[in-house]
Every structure is written in structure tokens, then in C-alpha cells.
Structure 1
Amino acid sequence: MDQVAESLARAIGARVKQERKGRGWTLDQLAAAAGVSRRMLVNVEQGGVNPSIGTLLRLSDALGVGLPALVEPPAARTAKITRRGEGAVLWTGDLGGKGVLVAGTGGPDVVELWDWTLAPGERHESEAHADGTRELLHVQDGTLTVAVDSESYEVATGDALSFYGDIAHAYINRHDEPARFSLTVFEPGVGAAHRTEIPNA
């Protein structure tokens, strides 16, 4: 990991640990609630791994906080500006693409704003998110193919697409030029499945 990625991994680890301890949960309890291995959770909390977006979503849902809450410190109820280059890079492609979380809200109804770039030939697979999740994307440059379940949509510069993100989906650049798009994700009731009971150790 480079220095920026290491710093982000440490911040995420500290926040996950803070949220877990604030609930009085053991590592085993959070691992069970999130459906991740204890070893992965230990590595995340120690800042020794840059977890996948899927892992972060499972942890944020189990903790009942939004993904943005895991990548930035709690803020007072004021406006928050994210300057160019300050977003959390949560995905990097083998060919140079990036998924950057630039802004978001707290739970239980979470809204995330992303800035994505896919290099020619890159593909990002996304697991199904929580029930009711909606995604809206707007292509700023290039052409993007979005696969949702068994359907495929080609979205060109200036086009927008909205779809349910609670089924598996993928973003694909099948063209010779980079594709850049903004993505807004709405996840209602984050953590609702974990609020009524503490998972067993």
C-alpha cells in the first residue's frame, strides 16, 4: 500500500474498532454479524489491510453506520467540503481506474457520492447491497456498460442511469478511452437487521 492507502486503512481500522467497542461487541460478535472472518476483522482494525468495498459495506451495515462514517471522522452538524483529491480511494483497478468516495451522510438512511474512473478494459464487480438500495450514475466522459442482473445498459457521455443496487451488478469499460462517472448510492435503513439483537460470541 502507498502512504495515502496506509493512512486510510489505519483510519478505517480505528473507526471500526471504536464503533465495535462502543457497542460492547467482541471481535467474534462483529465478525459474525458482518459475515467476515475474524482474521479479516483483526487485520482491518489493525490497519494492516485495505478492505474491499464489499467488506466495508458488510461492516458498516453490521455496525448500523453508513460507509462514509467508516472512512471519515465524526463531524459536527455543519457543512463539510471535500477538496479535490481528498476523497477516500476505496477501489483501484489494475489498469489505473479508481473509485473515490467523496461525500456521504450518516445512517440510518445513507447517501454516498462517488467519483469513478475506469480505464479501457477495466471492470468493477459489485455485490448486492442491502434491500432497497438505489444507485444513480451520470457519465461525464467516455462510455460505460452497466450490467444489472441479466440486463446490460450502455451509458454514454451525458447519459444517466438509475437502478436497484440490491442485486449483483458491474461497471465495465469496453472502449478505448477512460470512462468517468459520478455515482450516488442510497442505502435505506443501514444496520436495521442488527439493531434488535447483539450477535452471539
Structure 2
Amino acid sequence: MDESTTTLALAIGARVKQERQSRGWTLDQLAESAGVSRRMVVNVEQGAANPSVGTLLRISDALGVGLPALVESPRPKPVKVTRSGEGAALWIGESGGRGVLVAGTESPDVVELWDWTLGAGDRHVSEAHTSGTKELLQVQQGTVTVEIAGQSVSLDAGDAVTFPGDVAHSYANPGTEPARFSLAVFEPGVGTGHRPEVSDA
């Protein structure tokens, strides 16, 4: 992990531990509620892991705080500004792509705003989010192929798509040039349900 990734991992770990302890939960209780292994919770809290976005979503849902709360300061502010370059890079692609969470609201009805770049050939696979989740995506540059529950949609710059986020989906760049898109995710009722058991991969 590079320095910024390490700093982010430590900040997320501290926030997870703070939220878990404020509820009086053991490591095992959080692991069971989130549907991840105890070892994964320990690694996240120690900042020793670079967990997948899916793992972070399961942990944030179990804590009832939403993913944005894990990567932001716990002090609520009526106006929160994220300057260019300050977003939380939660995914790094093999070809240099990045998934950056740039803004988000608090639970229970969480809205996340992402800035995604996909290098040539990059692909990000996302597991199904909680029931009722919706995603809105607009391509800013290049071509992006979105697969939603087996249906494939090809989008060029300026094109947009709305789809259910509570089914398996993926974003891919089939081209030879970088692609960029904005993504908004609406996840209602964070913390009111549980995700199915899945691996920590």
C-alpha cells in the first residue's frame, strides 16, 4: 500500500473500531453482523488490510453508519467540501483506474457520489448491495460497458444509465484509452438489514 492508501486504511480502521466500541460490540459480533470473518474485522481495524468496497459496505451497513461515514471525519458539518484530490480512493484497477468516493450523506438513507476512471481493459465487479439500492452513472470520457444481472449496456461520453444496485453488476473499459464516469449510489435504510454471507475477497 502506498502512503495515501495506508493513511486511509488507518483512518477507516480507527473509525470502525470507534463505532464498534461505542455499541459495546465484540469483534465477533461485528463480524457476524457484517457477514465477514473476524480476521477481516481485525485487519480492517488495525489498518493492515486494503479491504474491498464490498467488505467496507458490509461493515458500514452492520454499524448502521453508511460507507461515507467510514472515510470522513466523525464530526457532522452542515456543509462538507471535498477539494480536488481529497476523495477517498477505495478501488485501484490493474490498469491504473481508480474509484474515488468524493462525497456522501449520513445514514439511514445514504447517497454516495463517486468519480471513477478505468484504464484500458480495467473492470470492477460489484456484488449486489442492500435491497432497494439504485445507481446512476454518466460517462464523462471514453466508453464504459456496464453489466447488470447479465444485461450488458455500452455507454459513450455523455450517455447515462440508471439501474438497480441490489443485483450483481460491473463497470468495464473495453477501449484502448482511459474512460471516466460519475456514479451516484442511493442506499436506503443503511443499518436496518444484513447482507448475505460472502467471502472477503
> Would you say 1:108 and 2:123 are equivalent positions?
no
3-state SS, counterpart of residue 181 of structure 1: strand
Other-structure match for 2:71: 71
Q: State the secondary structure of the residue aligned to 1:6.
A: helix
Partners in 1 of 2:174 and 2:2 — Cα distance?
Answer: 28
Distance 2:110 2:76 in 1: 17
Give the Å deviation of 1:77: 3.3
Query: Letter of the aligned partner of 1:92 in structure 2?
Result: I
Look up the match of 1:42: 42
In 2: Cα distance, 1:91 partner to 1:76 partner: 25
Q: 2-side partners of 1:142 and 1:77: how far apart?
A: 36
Q: How far apart are the structure 2 equivalents of 1:183 and 1:90? A: 14
Identical positions, percent: 68
SS where residue 193 of structure 2 aligns?
A: helix
**Structure 1-normalised TM-score?**
0.95
The DSSP-based 3-state class of the residue aligned with 2:182 is strand
Q: Give the SS at the match of 2:186.
A: strand
What is the distance in 1 between the residues matched to 2:191 and 2:23? 13
| 1:128 aligned partner | 128
Structure 2 equivalent of residue 54 of structure 1: 54
Residue 80 of structure 1 is matched in structure 2 by: 80
* Structure 1: runs of 5 or more not aligned: 195-201
For residues 63 and 183 of structure 1, the distance between their equivalents in structure 2, rounded to whole angstroms, comes to: 24
Give ranges in structure 2 of 5+ residues lacking alignment: 195-201
Distance 1:41 1:67 in 2: 15
**C-alpha distance in 1, partners of 2:140/2:26?**
44
Q: Report the count of equivalent residues.
A: 194
Supply the RMSD in Å over aligned alpha carbons: 0.8
- Going from structure 1 to structure 2, the CA distance change for 1:78 and 1:188 (only over 3 Å counts) comes to same
**1:89-168 → structure 2 map (5 Å cutoff):** 89-168=89-168
The one-character-per-residue Cα deviations of 1:124-147 (angstroms, maximum 9, x if unpaired) are 000000000000011000010000
- 1:78, distance to aligned residue in structure 2 (A): 1.7
* Cα shift readout 1:153-187 (whole Å, capped 9, x = no counterpart): 01110011000000000001111111100000000
Deviations 1:59-118 (A, max 9, x none): 011011110000111233321110110000000011100000000000000000000000
The runs of at least 4 consecutive aligned structure 1 residues that moved more than 2 Å come to: none
| Paired residue type of 1:69 | A
The whole-number CA distance in structure 2 between the counterparts of 1:151 and 1:15 is: 37
Aligned partner letter, 2:147: A
5 Å-filtered alignment, 1:171-190, equals 171-190=171-190
